[in-house]
């Protein structure tokens, strides 16, 4: 029988697939600033519910500081993801999620002084080769519009590293992720306030026709669903991390970009070149192997 932390990791993967499958429609319909504010603010609701259920309302100052830093990283991650999705396909944008296990291993190697096996090194090489095949255009030229997608993975990976430390030091998983989410909502809200004229202009242009209004309101409804799914997924994964199942949980969640890529093919009719398809397959194999080694 599967343990509760493993079930939580499976649930988080499924919930992240919900956010990922809706992200393309959201990114191309609503201003990124509004989306990030909603994702961070509404996404905090499941975390606040978890805090109230656990009844833990105080954690060390060091854990709070790390949680706030994580909130900054999450905000950056969302902005970068949405920027990539405005112009690029869902499939090749989200496939960079497979870089996360490799980045975590590099963190352990250089920051924590850990050692890696030859198998680890080979798996990482395979992942980075796959990433290069996806991001290239002709010859060895790089598709610069996919760079934000790769950078978003770096931001999210560092986010989870920081949150893991915050959860460990706090002795509870819910309050650190809630603090990080609320911090991100405040930052995105400030950005929205500073650039409110530009954002209002984009909203007004969407409302000029009946079709535009329907698209806008339906997209806002999708953001609410995506935010609740993502926030619940983050809460579940933080619980799994706090329970000490980092390696297995990482292996499970490494599958989410694969499922999102399949949705990209089916729902958005994404098309990859032969080499990009090979790159995606190579990244998935490398990520799963690295997480299980």
The larger pLDDT score, comparing residue 45 to residue 85, is at: 45
Q: What is the pLDDT of residues 175-201, one digit of tens each?
A: 999 999 999 999 999 988 887 766 666
User: pLDDT band for position 233 (50/70/90)?
Assistant: very high
Q: What is the pLDDT of residues 63-81, one digit of tens each?
A: 999 999 999 999 999 999 9
Of 157, 183, 160, 236, the closest CA to residue 64 belongs to 183
Contacts of 226 (CB under 8 A, 6+ apart): 18, 19, 22, 23, 26, 39
Q: What is the pLDDT of residues 240-272, one digit of tens each?
A: 877 755 555 566 666 676 677 677 777 777 776
**pLDDT number for residue 140:** 46
Contacts of 230 (CB under 8 A, 6+ apart): 15, 16, 18, 19, 39, 43
Helices (H), 90-146: 90-94, 99-110, 118-135
pLDDT more than 70, % of the chain? 75
Contacts of 289 (CB under 8 A, 6+ apart): 119, 123, 126
Q: What is the pLDDT of residues 13-49, one digit of tens each?
A: 889 888 988 988 898 888 889 999 999 999 999 999 9
3-state secondary structure of 129: helix
User: Residue 194 is inside which H or E element, if any?
Assistant: helix 174-194
Cα 228 off chain centre by: 14
Q: Are 17 and 225 in contact (CB under 8 A)?
A: no
Gap between the terminal Cα atoms of the chain: 22
**pLDDT number for residue 122:** 78
């Amino acid at each position: 029988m599967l343990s509760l932390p493993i079930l939580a990791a499976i649930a988080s993967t499924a919930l992240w697939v919900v956010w990922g499958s809706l992200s393309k429609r959201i990114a191309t319909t609503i201003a990124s600033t509004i989306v990030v504010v909603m994702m961070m603010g509404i996404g905090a609701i499941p975390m606040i519910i978890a805090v109230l259920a656990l009844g833990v309302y105080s954690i060390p100052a060091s854990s709070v500081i790390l949680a706030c830093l994580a909130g900054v990283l999450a905000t950056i991650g969302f902005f970068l993801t949405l920027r990539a999705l405005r112009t690029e396909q869902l499939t090749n944008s989200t496939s960079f999620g497979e870089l996360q296990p490799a980045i975590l291993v590099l963190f352990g190697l250089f920051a924590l002084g850990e050692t890696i096996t030859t198998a680890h090194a080979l798996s990482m090489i395979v992942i980075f080769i796959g990433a290069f095949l996806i991001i290239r255009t002709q010859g060895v030229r790089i598709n610069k519009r996919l760079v934000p997608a790769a950078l978003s993975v770096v931001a999210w990976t560092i986010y989870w590293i920081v949150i893991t430390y915050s959860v460990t030091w706090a002795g509870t998983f819910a309050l650190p992720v809630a603090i990080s989410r609320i911090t991100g909502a405040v930052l995105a809200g400030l950005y929205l306030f500073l650039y409110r004229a530009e954002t209002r202009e984009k909203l007004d242009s969407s409302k000029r026709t009946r079709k535009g209004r329907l698209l806008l309101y339906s997209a806002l409804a999708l953001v609410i669903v995506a935010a609740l799914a993502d926030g619940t997924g983050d809460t579940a994964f933080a619980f799994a991390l706090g329970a000490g199942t980092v390696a297995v949980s990482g292996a499970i969640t490494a599958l989410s970009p694969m499922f999102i890529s399949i949705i990209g093919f089916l729902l958005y009719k994404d098309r990859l070149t032969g080499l990009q398809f090979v790159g995606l397959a190579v990244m998935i194999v490398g990520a799963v192997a690295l997480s299980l080694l």
